[in-house]
Amino acid sequence: MAEAEISPTAQRAREIAAAHAHLDGPLLPVLHAVQHALGHIPREALAPIAEELDLSVAEIHGVISFYPDFRTEPGGRRTLKVCRAEACQAMGAARLGDDLRTRLGVDWHGTTQDGAVTLEPVYCLGLCACGPAALVDETPVARATADRLERMAREVVG
Amino acid sequence: MSLTLYLPKDAAALALGADDIAAALTAEAAARGIELRLVRTGSRGMVWLEPLLEIEQDGLRHGFGPLEVSDVKSLFESDFTDHAKALGPVEDIPFFARQTRLTFARCGVIDPLDLNAYRAHGGMAGLERARGMAPEQIVAEVTESGLRGRGGAGFPTGIKWNTVLQAEGPQKYIVCNADEGDSGTFADRMLMEGDPFCLIEGMAIAGLAVGATRGFVYCRSEYPHAIRTFGDALEMAREACLLSESFDIELRVGAGSYVCGEETALLNSMEGKRGTVRAKPPLPAHKGFMARPTVINNVISLASVPVILAEGAAHYKSFGLGRSLGTVPLQVAGNVKHGGLFEAAFGMTIGELIHDICGGTASGRPVKAVQIGGPLGAYFPVTLFDTPLGYEECDAAGGLIGHAGIVVFDDTADMGAMARFAMEFCAVESCGTCTPCRIGAVRGMETIDRILAGDPAAPAILADLCETMRDGSLCALGGFTPYPVESALKYFPEDFTPRQEAAE
């Protein structure tokens, strides 16, 4: 049987891992870079990362599953992170979260059916004196309303 | 004609529209044929005035804010003098005038990525002095200053440094904990965005003090602007030979886990592992990153070192109260009229800060409570507002000062719901290593639900559970979650009575 084709995804993950292998404790920088490059960390990326960093696939799976930032499935075109922490709750974040979940038709961590938006809870953005706060991709929003956040999150990615 | 204006690019200012103001200023200046030099600074910390534009007149910086795009045209028409949004000299605004800015002296004043401006405003004086001192002398100076960990634990910084100085190892490290996860806190973010060279200088001094040649900053991923600014500052510092082979800093980014702000979980995370908490001993000072001697300090602890070295320990410790010496960047947040960062000597009372300086709530309703020290800190009712803000003083009042974030709630707050949220947060963020935290937080949520449903047996179970979490947890996440829960229950029992569901 001919040698299996190496997928471009696996190849990319291997290159990223190799580029970071010299670091002390390279795994988090590698996972961030893979997710940045591919949008998520697909299953097939694990084996090449494991080989390059001399880790087991199980160890890498354990790390991915520990950290909320890492996703193993594709997310929406935009990510809407809405703060649920105390300072924002003092300014109505609980209702804002409820409104957004209703409007978008998803629960926390969910992606809208049209693939436009992934809704993530976040526990503090450091924008605590102008809450409720949110982050649309990397754009910070203060005194957020559900209207504004939905509009920003649904803006077509240009 | 040319014109110099100062406008923050701090994330809070951006969240309030600073980039839109910048674009409008640039367009208006171009239309008028004015050559505009727009200096993007950090934030002064008066968040309710953001975006806060400044212009220098007669040697003083005058402010205008909070600005909207529609103000820009009239600002030019007024020639930046008599305008509805004029605030006068920025440093005369009472919120600012009442501060003692030592650690945040440059924040909001200079372009954070202008090394010449950094030097011109007193930067590098501490490092230059440290270079002429023996390591033991630097450690002694920091010990003498009375500086204690600003991350929350309050451990004397000099003593920690001395342990690492005495420790043997092939490589020592300085690790800066920039995993500022506590709600209501943003001092680390503001400093990294507004004066990153100050943190670099503080870490370089720490390196000289303990014999470490490598530093790391572990910043949370929720701070993309701080990551970008600090990363740019690192590159500039290398180009200027402020960082080199003899001491260099690497920036690492977290991945959304709150518990990684706990120092041993942070070390595991940096090593590429799950962010689980380690048992102590061994202390990180003996076996830290890669099992080698490691100083771990909070951003503000390290950023306070340059001024201590530059001005001397005696100057720094001349501020403060009791064993809480120097200044603390108080961060006032939540439902507050004039929120932001207020750097002051330890010892101000909660009431003076919240009522006199910050003007009470944003909603205009009465203050019900403040939570001090993040999600693991106690709720203080108004009856405790004569408590001075210091490590021992907050402890004696049944709470903790933590990273000095203070979240204000008005009288519509539901403390039963806040207590339940404290347990929910602990359950979400628990690293899972110890049982009291992992299981206790979930049982805690259920038990509070039972209290809210009127189960008479539940309060005693909750008290017992809190005792188990407090005494049996490996770190402060499980160990301190009882603070918000029990303080809410103690001071606001009326919020724990059975709920009438609004079914209609």
Tell me the ipTM for this assembly: 0.96
pLDDT value of residue A16: 98
Homologous superfamily in CATH for domain B2-95: Glutaredoxin (3.40.30.10)
Query: Is A130 annotated to bind ligand?
Result: no
Select from B248, B263, B97 the least CA-distant residue to B178. B263
Mean pLDDT, rounded, for B155-178: 98
Of A125, A129, A140, the CB nearest to B332: A129
Q: CATH number of the domain at B319-410, please?
A: 3.10.20.600
Contact with chain B for residue A16, Cβ under 8 A: no
Q: How far is A26 from chain B (nearest CA, A)?
A: 6
- Name the residue of chain A whose CA is nearest to B411's CA: A90
Mean pLDDT (chain B, rounded): 97
Select from B13, B485, B493 the least CA-distant residue to A126. B13
**Which residues in chain B are contacts of A139 at CB distance < 8 A?**
14
Decide if pLDDT at A2 tops 70: no
B415-503: CATH topology is de novo design (two linked rop proteins) (1.20.1440)
Question: What is the Cα–Cα distance from B392 to B399, expressed in whole angstroms?
Answer: 9
Query: Is A128 annotated to bind ligand?
Result: yes
Domain B115-316, architecture per CATH: 3-Layer(aba) Sandwich (3.40)
**Which residues in chain A are contacts of B375 at CB distance < 8 A?**
85-86, 123
Decide if pLDDT at B158 tops 50: yes
Write out residues 33-52 of A within 8 Å (CB-CB) of B: none
Q: Where are the domains of chain B?
A: 2-95, 115-316, 319-410, 415-503
Question: What is the Cα–Cα distance from B276 to B434, expressed in whole angstroms?
Answer: 10
**Which residues in chain B are contacts of A126 at CB distance < 8 A?**
11-12, 180, 185-186, 188-190, 222-223, 226
DSSP A73-104: S---SEEEEEE-SHHHHTTTHHHHHHHHHHHH
Write out residues 317-336 of B within 8 Å (CB-CB) of A: 331-336
Residue B104 CB coordination number (10 Å): 29
- Name the residue of chain B whose CA is nearest to A139's CA: B15
A78-154: CATH topology is Glutaredoxin (3.40.30)
Decide if pLDDT at B504 tops 90: no
Q: Label residue B501 by pLDDT band (50, 70, 90).
A: low
Q: Where are the domains of chain A?
A: 8-66, 78-154
Mean pLDDT, rounded, for B43-55: 98
Mean pLDDT, rounded, for A74-99: 97
User: For residue A104, what are the CA distances in angstroms to A70, A81, A88, B481, B485?
Assistant: 22, 13, 20, 32, 32
